[in-house]
């Protein structure tokens, strides 16, 4: 694959995705083989929004490749507090690092920032927009558990503000999948995302539901998401839908024994802890897969001269 930056999953072809996932599997099988591959390489971390998994797994990935990170730290302790623009911040930090990872509350921020820098910039979430590196680890987890072709997936929760959902839905159009979206009406997939999905894949099988019941027995994978409280303009609107979609042992009585349950985490109350020790639960493995997948991505983007061709 050959990309200067990773901004959205829309830019990834099936071949690109397979390149990353295959490389991640290789690394997962023998991490020691790449332990010094990117010695002396520095990754710049710019997180303007809270993060645990994404930030720490990028940091782990860079260190496991022999490199290190430079971290802007919290907004409170950086010059952003003094009113510095994002364009200025990224132009400064690109002078310190070989690649940048950016998370920002504004949709489109990663695209804009990428126009100011020459080093690879990876979008780690832009508002309710996209989260393509999460998508790659999601796809890796789906491939391991259910395979990526002839897949029936349910995607449930906050489909309006959930950037992991927007990215995943796009990437899945590269494969033979049936996508069922389950949400309260107020949190349906934005119409422009539905329109886009049909634009890229005329035959895309996309169905929307307000209840899980009718489709649960047919699912290979159920991808559950958190209601994105911080993106609601009005807290009362959040309270109307909070806690509406919860998975517990009773819910799963109708599920196939082979169902795989995923969640990008953090969860609030969407999945009962009692599910964690069942064979359905793949969400902790999914979080762990962030390391080999991000190692693969960094390796591809940082390889000599930025050349990321197969």
Cβ(101)–Cβ(45) below 8 Å? yes
Residue written as tokens 């993060």? 51
Token readout for 236 is 């009362």
Residues of this chain, 206-225, that bind ligand NCD according to CB under 6 A: 225
Is 164 a binding residue for ligand NCD by CB under 6 A? The answer is: yes
Nearest to 250 by CA among 298, 204, 212: 212
x/- binding map, residues 18-47, to ligand NCD, per CB under 6 A?
------------------------------
Smaller CB separation from ligand NCD, 64 or 263? 263
**DSSP states of 227-285:** --GGG-S-HHHHHHHTT-S-B-TTGGGGS-TT-EEE--S--SSSB-GGGTTSTTB-HHH
- CB of residue 27 to ligand NCD, shortest distance in Å: 20
Is 288 a binding residue for ligand NCD by CB under 6 A? The answer is: no
Is 67 a binding residue for ligand NCD by CB under 6 A? The answer is: no
Residues of this chain, 222-251, that bind ligand NCD according to CB under 6 A: 225-226
Cβ(248)–Cβ(181) below 8 Å? no
Cβ(20)–Cβ(297) below 8 Å? yes
Any residues with CB less than 8 A from the CB of 84 and at least 6 apart, and which?
Answer: 78
Is 163 a binding residue for ligand NCD by CB under 6 A? The answer is: yes
Q: Which sign does the torsion angle of CA 2, 285, 138, 265 carry? A: negative
Catalytic residues: 53-54, 82, 103, 131
Smaller CB separation from ligand NCD, 200 or 268? 268
Residues of this chain, 89-128, that bind ligand NCD according to CB under 6 A: 125
- CB of residue 228 to ligand NCD, shortest distance in Å: 6
Smaller CB separation from ligand NCD, 134 or 177? 134
- CB of residue 143 to ligand NCD, shortest distance in Å: 18
- CB of residue 136 to ligand NCD, shortest distance in Å: 12
Q: Tell me how crowded residue 201 is: count the other CB atoms within 10 A of its CB.
A: 16
**Strand order of the sheet with strand 42-47?**
68-71, 42-47, 99-104, 121-126
Total residues interacting with ligand NCD, rule: CB under 6 A? 11
Smaller CB separation from ligand NCD, 164 or 260? 164
Smaller CB separation from ligand NCD, 264 or 292? 264
Q: Burial letters for 7-30: b for 16+ Cβ neighbours within 10 Å, e otherwise? A: bbbeebeeebbbbbbebbebbbee
Cβ(131)–Cβ(105) below 8 Å? no
Is 180 a binding residue for ligand NCD by CB under 6 A? The answer is: no
- CB of residue 255 to ligand NCD, shortest distance in Å: 23
- CB of residue 128 to ligand NCD, shortest distance in Å: 9
Please identify which residue in 3, 10, 37, 53 interacts with ligand NCD, judged by CB under 6 A.
53
Smaller CB separation from ligand NCD, 6 or 34? 6
Residues that bind ligand NCD (CB under 6 A): 53-54, 125, 131, 134, 163-164, 225-226, 264-265
């Amino acid at each position: 694959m050959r990309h200067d930056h990773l901004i959205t999953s829309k830019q990834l072809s099936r071949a690109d995705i397979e390149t990353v996932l295959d490389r991640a599997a290789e690394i997962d099988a023998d991490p020691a083989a790449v332990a010094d591959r990117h010695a002396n390489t520095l990754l710049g971390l710019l997180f303007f929004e809270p993060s645990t998994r994404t930030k720490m797994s990028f940091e782990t990935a860079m260190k496991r490749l022999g490199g290190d990170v430079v971290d802007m730290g919290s907004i409170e302790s950086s010059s952003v507090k003094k009113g510095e623009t994002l364009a200025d911040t990224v132009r400064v930090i690109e002078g310190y690092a070989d690649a940048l990872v950016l998370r920002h509350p504004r949709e489109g921020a990663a695209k804009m920032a990428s126009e100011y820098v020459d080093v690879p910039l990876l979008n780690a979430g832009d508002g309710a927009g996209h989260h393509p590196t999460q998508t790659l680890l999601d796809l890796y987890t789906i491939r391991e558990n259910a395979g990526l072709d002839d897949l029936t997936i349910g995607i449930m929760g906050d489909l309006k503000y959930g950037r992991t959902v927007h990215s995943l839905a796009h990437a899945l159009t590269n494969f033979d999948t049936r996508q069922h979206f389950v949400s309260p009406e107020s949190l349906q997939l934005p119409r422009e995302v539905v329109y886009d999905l049909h634009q890229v894949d005329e035959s895309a099988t996309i169905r929307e539901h307000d209840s899980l019941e009718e489709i649960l027995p047919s699912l290979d994978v159920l991808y559950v998401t958190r209601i994105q409280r911080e993106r609601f303009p009005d807290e009362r609107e959040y309270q109307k839908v909070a806690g509406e979609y919860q998975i517990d042992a009773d819910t799963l009585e109708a599920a196939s024994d082979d169902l795989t349950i995923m969640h990008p985490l953090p969860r609030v109350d969407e999945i009962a802890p009692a599910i964690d020790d069942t064979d359905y639960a793949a969400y902790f493995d999914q979080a762990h897969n962030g390391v080999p997948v991000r190692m693969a991505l960094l390796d591809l983007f940082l390889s000599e001269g930025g050349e990321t061709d197969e």
